[in-house]
Amino acid sequence: MREYFDIIVIGGGPAGLTAAIYARRAGKSVLVLEKASVGGQIAASPQVDNFPGCPGISGAELADRLYAQVEDLGGRMELEEALSVENGPVKTVTTDYGAYTCGALILATGMKHRSLGLDREETLPGVSFCAVCDGAFYKGKDAAVCGGGNTALQDALFLSDLCRHVTVIHRRGQLRGDPILAEAVKKRKNVTILLDTVVESLLGGEALTGLLLKNTVTGETRELAVDGLFQAVGQQPEGVLAQALGVANDAGFIPAGEDCLTPVPGVFAAGDCRVKEVRQLTTACADGAVAALAACKYCG
């Protein structure tokens, strides 16, 4: 017989963990399913300065605190990937390890890294999405960061303390990240910023040795020798489950309002997977609280 929970939360990031906290405080049995690591992508952030009351905390520590709170309240978390959902008054979630049933489902599936669309970028050693995870491999070497937002700028600052030289490559004419981060990057003596530039191809045989770059204004191409490339060109929603349930748009986002309700009874959306203007830690946690309370009300 499949194990039953009042509420199953798919996604163990800040939205999902907050939902679990609120649901447990309301006395509901809760299972959180996370396919990768506790905390989601925020766990890879070296420093979080915009979470109220916790300036300077690392993403990993924040994730650990959220998980510990869920655990202390009696919530359960499994590192399993949700593969499919069978809708109905009782919903069945099938994972790569088994299956569970629930009365209400909260989709807090978050986002995934957007790729550059280059040949071999998924397999060529030297290409990474996580500076915190892999930056130490390039200590004393040359690295590049592709992107111009906050993640790219944070990656550049982190890598500049490790690498001999860091090149920031951005396709637009100006950086998109917060001005305070942009100014900090510009002050680093071992960081070069290349604007109006894109990566055309990856160079190297068994491992990355360089990049073929193209200036989007002049059309000029040139090679840049680097040992590592860190991609930070944005994200896209983890929308497969939501699309299968018929609650996501063509882009994979769930068009649920601030009440976190979806068109399917008993299915709620929280966090970055929801259509919204602002995607921050605080808004993810807010969604988690709202979705959990709505799910608790639905369960009765």
List the beta bridge partners of residue 185.
none
Cβ–Cβ < 8 Å for 16, 34: yes
3-class secondary-structure state, position 8 = strand
Cβ–Cβ < 8 Å for 240, 11: no
- Find the catalytic residue in 134, 178, 196, 299: 134
- Find the catalytic residue in 64, 130, 196, 299: 130
Q: Distance between CA atoms of 6 and 83, rounded to whole angstroms?
A: 19
- Find the catalytic residue in 49, 72, 119, 133: 133
Q: Distance between CA atoms of 52 and 148, rounded to whole angstroms?
A: 25
> Does 130 participate in catalysis according to the annotation?
yes
In SS3 terms, 211-280 reads as: EEEEECCCCCEEEEECCEEEECCCEEECCHHHHHHCCCCCCCCECCCCCCECCCCCEEECHHHECCCCCC
> Does 134 participate in catalysis according to the annotation?
yes
Catalytic residue IDs: 130, 133-134
